[in-house]
Amino acid sequence: MRFRALGPLAGELDGRPLALGPPQQQALLAMLLLREGRPVSVRELLDGLWGERLPARAVGILRTYVSRLRTLLEPERRARRPATVLVSAGDGYALRLSAGSLDSGVYEARLREAGRLRAAGQTVAGYKELGAALGMWAGTPLAGLPGPYAQRQRERLTELWLSAQETHFHCALELGRHADAVGALRVFAGEHPLRERTQALLMLALHRTGHQGDAFAVYAAACRTLDAELGVGPGPELRALHARLLKSEPEPVRAQPVPAVTRCPVPAQLPLDVPDFIGRRASVARLGGLLRDASAGKTMAVASLTGLGGVGKTALAVHVAHSLREEFPDGQLYVDLRGGTPAPAESSDVLVHLLHSLGVADRDVPEGTEERAALYRSLLAGRRVLVLLDNVRDTAQVRPLLPGVRGCAVVITSRSRTIVVPGSRLIPVDPMSEPEALALLGAIIGPERVAAEPDAAHELVTSCGFLPLAVRIAAARLLVRPQWSLADLAARLRDEPGRLDELRVGGVGVEAAFRRSYEMLEPGAARAFRRVAAAAGVTVLGRFTVAAMLGTGAYEAREAMESLVDAGLLEENGTDSYCCHDLVRLFARRQLERSADPDERAAAMVLRSRTNKSVLPAGPRRSAPALVPTSISCPAQRA
């Protein structure tokens, strides 16, 4: 379980967002979270939630919230079994979570570590630790939660953040990074005009960069603001700094030292090649041709592999990259940008990793993103390096990471089809053909098992939608249960409502792969996905059909569908028509069943009843559409 308090309260269990309930219930959860496992008495909880305005039956309401939270936090706990997460403790309750489960706890630990490093004279390390802590901030803590306790914690955490920001600026000035700090300091000082320490830091930064007139203007503005708002003059620290600056000459702007690049081994960071890579001949040939042209110095190639989650984009990229390692003798760099997660990698942090990989010492890494990107491009000049950027979220994330010279090549994998990079080539990655899926199944479990049950093998890979991830999971289940026949697993997969549950093993599941794309959707697009992708009895959806299903105009329907195509959840099937992979359809139906909208849940019940009537018994070999007659399928999938 993970929880976020540095912003609106949020939580997730096994990667799935938790519906935390009404604000008062969330406020109770926040109290228990911020006590970090220590018991909280009922009296304290009542005071923290309502203060002196206790409602009638306050204790009963509190116990109802506790009961709901226990169900939320331990959904698989059996009735009458004692809770192990939200436990009774004395005359109150305690929340037992593993260390690091709450972001504010990690945040405060980083602030303490930064203070320790600064006290030990390690200013650079302290500066970076402060930056990491500040990077966790996501807005007003516990935003919108009622009660005196939540308000006190909002004020406490906000003050910690303000002080940490000031200390971060202070460290920047200690390290001579005045020019880099001025812009951000101006904004921060404008937002907090009554914080005298902030005004003093801005004055000092301006003076040291040769803008002494601006520094004195900041002092004059601070004096006016303090007098107008509080009826007081500036404090002793601000007055003393003003007096010192009046007597001294401005310090020259310090030049940034030229980074020293140490000799390091040639980077070879590619993940392990997939030993049972199957098929994809056309895509392998196309990607290989682009990379060979780049290594020959003809261009700086950028190839973007896009497709549905679990379709094998990374496996394809890694396989081709390994096969062409000798074409890039100066190294192969790899970074997972976590684009499908709530916390994608920041380009600036990725550049630090890339610079370290190219031999730049930590002390010589520039501060700004643009400066880091410029140094990165300079180091790649004259080299032949292959860069694999996995799980890219968007164009802004990837643009600073591109080399600027011929001889290098970049391979991007992304679920999004909207990565716009000049000169890039888009390579769509589709589900496998049936022969490829059968070959993959045989490569994992043994070709003799596939040959012994050809009809069951056909039904199994068809139920997997020929999606490589699904086929691999099915094969893994057969490996760990050798007593199962292929027909046994095929029969399990025949049950549509439970199919996604069957396609999960060892913490890896098809549903999780789709969920990452779904959770990145805007609310309107998510609603369109639930209503359209889960529909039954339709093969290809035109925009007018979609408009009727969504109750919108044709233009709005097209915009919604295009956003789902861009997210990799739908596929285009000609102009203004769309289709959906069978497993994505089942995922959409599950979201429909879980929707807060009663109309959507009613529609889901109708779909489930139709599905139960349409499931076919096991029998002789048949084509993919006949197995699931109500699916939305692309012609390519039926081939």
pLDDT of residue 534: 63
Region class of 37: left (phi > 0), else alpha (psi between -120 and 50), else beta: left
pLDDT of residue 263: 52
Q: How many CB atoms are located within 10 Å of the residue 225 CB?
A: 14
pLDDT of residue 627: 26
* Residues sharing a CB contact under 8 Å with residue 67, sequence separation 6 or more, in sequence order: none
Contact 1, 70 (CB under 8 A): no
In order of 233, 569, 615, the CA distances from 240 in angstroms are 13, 61, 82
**Closest alpha carbon to 594 in 67, 18, 74:** 18
Q: Which residue has the tokens 């109802």?
A: 64
**In terms of C-beta density within 10 A (0-12 exposed, 13-18 middle, 19 or more buried), how is residue 40 classed?**
buried
- What is the CA angle 199-204-207, rounded to 5? 125
Contact 145, 122 (CB under 8 A): no
How far is Cα 34 from Cα 141, in angstroms, rounded to an integer? Answer: 12
**Closest alpha carbon to 442 in 402, 472, 481, 409:** 472
Q: How many CB atoms are located within 10 Å of the residue 544 CB?
A: 14
Give the chain's largest Cα–Cα span.
Answer: 95
Q: Which residues pair with 425 in a beta bridge?
A: 303
Q: Which residues pair with 414 in a beta bridge?
A: 306
pLDDT of residue 254: 38
> Quick one: three-class SS letters along 428-492?
ECCCCCHHHHHHHHHHHHCHHHHHHCHHHHHHHHHHCCCCHHHHHHHHHHHHHCCCCCHHHHHHH
* Residues sharing a CB contact under 8 Å with residue 608, sequence separation 6 or more, in sequence order: 497, 589, 593
pLDDT of residue 549: 81
Q: What token pair was written down for 582? A: 């069978």
In order of 276, 305, 417, 430, the CA distances from 308 in angstroms are 20, 10, 10, 8
Q: What token pair was written down for 530? A: 């639930």
* Residues sharing a CB contact under 8 Å with residue 268, sequence separation 6 or more, in sequence order: 325, 331, 332
pLDDT of residue 245: 85
Contact 469, 312 (CB under 8 A): yes
SS3 at position 417: coil
pLDDT of residue 615: 41
**Rounded to two decimals, what is the model's pTM?**
0.56
SS3 at position 238: helix
Please identify every stretch of the chain with a pLDDT value under 50, giving residue numbers as ranges.
249-261, 537, 613-639
What is the β-pairing status of strands 409-414 and 301-306?
Answer: parallel
**In terms of C-beta density within 10 A (0-12 exposed, 13-18 middle, 19 or more buried), how is residue 517 classed?**
buried
SS3 at position 597: coil
How far is Cα 406 from Cα 302, in angstroms, rounded to an integer? Answer: 11
pLDDT of residue 230: 82
- For residue 250, the surrounding DSSP H or E stretch is none
Complete DSSP assignment for 539-588: SSEEHHHHHHHHTS-HHHHHHHHHHHHHTTSSEE-STTEEE--HHHHHHH
pLDDT of residue 255: 36
Contact 171, 34 (CB under 8 A): no
**Closest alpha carbon to 261 in 114, 395, 380, 96:** 380
How far is Cα 34 from Cα 5, in angstroms, rounded to an integer? Answer: 9
SS3 at position 88: strand
